[in-house]
A = this chain, B = another copy of it.
Amino acid sequence: MQLHAMWDDYPALSDDLKEVLQTIEKNIQIRDKHVEKNVKDLIHAGGKLLRPAFALLSAQAGPDFDKDRAVSIAAALEVLHMATLIHDDVVDDSPLRRGIPTIHSKYGRNYAVYTGDYLFCICFKILSAHASSVENIEFNSKNIEKILMGELDQMRTSYKMDVTVREYLTRISGKTAQLFALSCYSGATGSKASRMTVAKCYNIGHYLGMAFQIIDDVLDYTSTDEGLGKPVLNDMKQGIYSLPLIYAMKGHLAEFEPLLSQKLAMSDAASEQVLALISKYNGVEQAFKLANKYTNKALREIKKLPAGSYRDDMYRLTKSILDRDI
C-alpha cells in the first residue's frame, strides 16, 4: 500500500493512514468486479488523504482516543469524499481523475451515479458501526447536506460575472471547507474532546479548508499544464469564476466581459488577455493574501489545542500544505 510521499515525514500518521485505506478496501464489495476494481484503483491513485489525516490528528485532541474508532471515522470521511468526487465527475463530464479514467467515462453515467450512491451508503455504514456515534451521524448528515448545497450554489452562480467575493466564499465554504471542518470535528467528538476543543477543531478544519480551496483555485491561473506550457483555465471557461478573477474583475468588468462571454469557445488569445488583466489588477496577489489570512487563523487555533505531538504534527502539516508565497 503506497502513500503519497508527503507522508514520509509523519511516520505515525502514515501507519494510521494505511489502516484507513485497508478499512475502506475491506468495506467496498461491489458485485461487478470491474467497477470494484475501478473504485479501488481510485483509492490507491494517490489521493492526498488530507481529510482522514486531519480526522486522525483531531481524534488525538480528546481524552478517549481509540485508534480503531478514529480510523473508522477517517475512512468514512474519505469514502464520502470519493462519493462526491465520482458524482462531480458525472456532473462535469470529466474524463480523468487522479490520472485514471473516471468511472463515468469508462462505464457510463449510470454506473457512476449508482457507484457514488453506493459509496454514500458505505460512508454511513462505516460510521454506524460505532454505536456511540448517533449524534455524530446526525451531525454528519446535516453537514453533507451543506456540502451538496455548496455544489448546487456553484452551479447557480456559473457564468455570473458580477459574482462577489462573499458569494465565492460561501460557495467554497460549502464545497470544500465543510468537509475539512467535518473531518476535524468528527475526529475530536469521537474521542470525547471537550466542547471547547471540538469547536476549535471544527474551526481549524474550516479555516484550512478555505485556504486550501483558495490556493487550489489560484493554481488554476498560475500553474502550467505540462503539455501546453500554460494554464488550462478549465474552470473559468466552464463559468466557475474563482477568487483571482473575481478580485481582478472588481471595478473592471467592462474589460473582462467581451472575453469571458466567449465561454467554452474562448480563444487562446482571449485566455491570454484574461491572464494579463488578472496580473494587471493583482488578482493572484489579493487571493494569496486572503488564503494566508485563513492559514494564519488555522495555525493560531491549532496552537490553542491541548499540547501533544499530534498538535505539532498538525501545525507542521498545515504549514507545509498552505503556507506559501507567490
Known: A90-B109, A122-B145, A134-B134. 11 other contacts (CB 8 A): A30-B149, A113-B113, A114-B151, A115-B152, A117-B117, A117-B144, A120-B120, A120-B121, A124-B141, A125-B141, A125-B145
Q: Is A91 an interface residue (CB 8 A)?
A: yes
Closest-CB distance, A72 to chain B (whole angstroms): 12
B31 touches A149 (CB 8 A): yes
Closest-CB distance, A76 to chain B (whole angstroms): 11
Total chain A interface residues with beta-carbon distance under 8 A? 43
Contacting residues of chain A (137-178) with chain B, CB-CB under 8 angstroms: 137-138, 141-142, 144-145, 148-149, 151-153, 155-156
Q: Is A226 an interface residue (CB 8 A)?
A: no
Interface residues, chain A, CB within 8 Å of chain B? 30-32, 35, 83-84, 87, 90-91, 108-111, 113-118, 120-122, 124-125, 128-129, 131, 133-135, 137-138, 141-142, 144-145, 148-149, 151-153, 155-156
Chain B residues within an 8 Å CB radius of A113: 87, 90-91, 113, 116
A142 to B27, CA, bound (A): 11
